[in-house]
Amino acid sequence: MQDLLGLPIDASAHGPEIDHMIAIVHWLMAVLFVGWGSFFLYSVIRFRKARQSKADYAGVKSHMSSYLEVGVALFEIVLIVGFAVPLWAKRVNEFPPEKGALVVRVVAEQFAWNIHYPGADGVFGPTDVKLVSADNPVGLDRSDPDGKDDIVTINQLTLPVGKPVIVRLTSKDVIHSFGIPLLRVKQDAIPGQVIPLWFEPVETTENIKERLTKRYQIKKGEYDPRFTAMVAMMDYVDTENNLIAGKGNLLFPDVIDMLAEAGHNEILAGPDTPMEIACAQLCGLGHYRMRGYVAIKTQEEFEAWLSEEASYLPE
């Protein structure tokens, strides 16, 4: 069922539970629809006027339908008690201890995701609306000792794999929604409120990229619009061995044309940014482009990234 539903790749520890529940609910839907549908089709054909010139005043006398309704109700009780409530409680009540987790602030604004890491000291510096500027989107007080080492990125959420992440989510202006389909995470970002959420990534984005890599047929002059979000996953050369598109190069229409001219009729391509933050709540004219990028790295890569970011900090 999960394949049939076409759910995206799932890279979080809790995701499979949600997918499993989606599958169960869709099984129930399918059974009911097929059951009702068969009864419906049979009745419509069997009791057409041409076949049944006189209607039966009483109609169905059995109480099958009552049992059916009780059955549906029981199934719904099982869904709530057995799945919905425990799963939800895990998401909103059973937060992991902050000690063993990575805590990040995410401040949404029209139309960007500001990511705020506490830095080496593990303490977030204070923020103030009055300090907000183009260079300081979250209004961080760099003069405070806690704020000195904080790292702020825009639209780039970098996380280590295999470690719980706690996001403290808020917004500067209007309501946004922090949705990461590949992590089965969604939470509205509401101004005036800080809402925590947590999840644990279990796969690196590099790995996901490999998994999503496929062969695509190409032809000169025919541009598959899907290529706009893809990169080449190996080096491609022309007949004289000049590089046309290296691994990781974006696949613009002219690149595809050049590849086709060089005699390639298929290409190995994968998504440029496999995991994205998709704003899920209408937040204004730029809602469609309010997109953030998630990079899940190994712990070592993540630490290297942190120290690199820290090295750019003003002294």
Partner 1 sequence: MQQSATTERRHVESVRHEEHAGFWRTYVFSIDHKVIGLQYMMSALVFLFFGFSLMMLMRWQLAYPGKSIPGEVFVLLPAVISAATLVIALISKRKLIGLVGLTFAGLAALVWYLVSDEVLFPDGVMVPELYNSFGAMHGTIMVFLGVVPLAVGGFGNYVVPLQVGAPDMAFPRLNMMSYWAYFIGGVVMLASFFVPGGAANSGWTSYPPLADIATTGQTVWLLGMVFLITSSLLGSINFIVTIVQLRANGLTYMRLPFFVWAQFITAFLLLLAFPPLEAAAVLQLMDRLAGTSFFLPSGLVISGQALEVSGGGSPLLWQHLFWFLAHPEVYVLVLPAMGIIAEVIANNTRKPLWGYKSMVYAVIFLGFMSFIVWAHHMFMTGMGTVISTFFQTTTMIISIPSVIILTALMISLWGGSIRFTVPMLFALAFLPMFGIGGLTGLPLGLAPTDIHLHDTYYVIGHFHYVVAPGSIFALFAGLYYWYPKVTGRLMNDTLGRIHFWGSFFAMNGIFFPMLIQGLAGVSRRLWDGGAEYAHAQDTLYLNEVMSISAWVLAVFQLPFIFNFFWSIRKGKKVESDNPWDATTLEWQTPTPPPHGNFAMVPQVYRGPYEYSDPKSPKDYVPQNVA
Which residues within the stretch 163-222 sit at the binding site for partner 1 (CB under 8 A)?
Answer: 172-175, 177, 179, 181-182, 184-188, 190-193, 195
In the complex, what is the shortest distance from the CB of residue 116 to partner 1, in angstroms, rounded to a whole number? Answer: 15
- Please list, residue by residue across 174-199, b when 16 or more beta carbons sit within 10 angstroms of its beta carbon and e when fewer do: bebbbbbbbbbbebbbbeeeeeebbb
Q: If we measure between CA atoms, which residue out of 264, 269, 267 comes closest to residue 213?
A: 269
Per-residue mark of binding to partner 1, 292-311 (x: CB under 8 A): --------------------
Among 48, 97, 221, 312, binds partner 1 (CB under 8 A): 48
| Cα(143)–Cα(314) distance, integer angstroms | 11
Q: Which is nearer to partner 1, 22 or 258 (CB)?
A: 22
What's 216's DSSP letter?
Answer: E
Q: Which of 229, 226, 223 is nearest to 256 (CA)?
A: 223
CB of 230 to partner 1, least distance (A): 8
Under the binding rule (CB under 8 A), the answer on residue 60 touching partner 1 is: yes
CA distance 105 to 152: 9
- Which stretch, 113-121, 158-166, 241-249, 277-285, contacts partner 1 (CB under 8 A)? 277-285
Is residue 58 within the footprint of partner 1 (CB under 8 A)?
yes
How many C-beta atoms surround the C-beta of residue 277 within 10 A?
A: 25
- In whole angstroms, give the CA distance from residue 299 to residue 102: 11
* End-to-end Cα, the chain, rounded Å: 55
Q: Show the tokens assigned to 131.
A: 């300090």
Smallest gap from residue 247 Cβ to partner 1 (A) = 17
- Rounded to a whole number of angstroms, the minimum distance from the CB of residue 183 to partner 1 is 10
Q: In what order do the strands lie in the sheet with 165-171?
A: 151-154, 112-117, 102-109, 165-171, 195-199
Give the footprint of partner 1 on residues 230-249 (CB under 8 A).
Answer: 230
Q: How many CA atoms lie within 13 A of 173 on its CB side?
A: 13
Give min distance, CB of 253 to partner 1, in A.
14
Residue 3 touches partner 1, criterion: CB under 8 A: no
Looking at the Cβ atoms of 224 and 301, the one nearer to partner 1 is 224
The nearest distance, CB 123 to partner 1, in angstroms, is 21
| 154 is a contact residue toward partner 1 (CB under 8 A) | no
Give the nearest distance from C-beta 146 to partner 1 in angstroms.
20
Among 1, 13, 21, 166, binds partner 1 (CB under 8 A): 21
Can the peptide bond before residue 111 be classed as cis, meaning omega within 30 degrees of 0? yes
Minimum separation from the CB atom of position 30 to partner 1 (A):
9
* Crossing angle between the packed helical segments 15-46 and 85-92, to the nearest 10 degrees: 150
Size of interface with partner 1, in residues (CB under 8 A):
101
CB-wise, 48 or 99, nearer to partner 1?
48
* Residue numbers 86-145 binding partner 1 by CB under 8 A: 87-89, 91-93, 109-110, 129-130, 132-134, 139
Listed ranges 116-124, 151-159, 274-282, 298-306: which one lies at the site for partner 1 (CB under 8 A)? 274-282
> Which position has the token pair 């409120």?
193
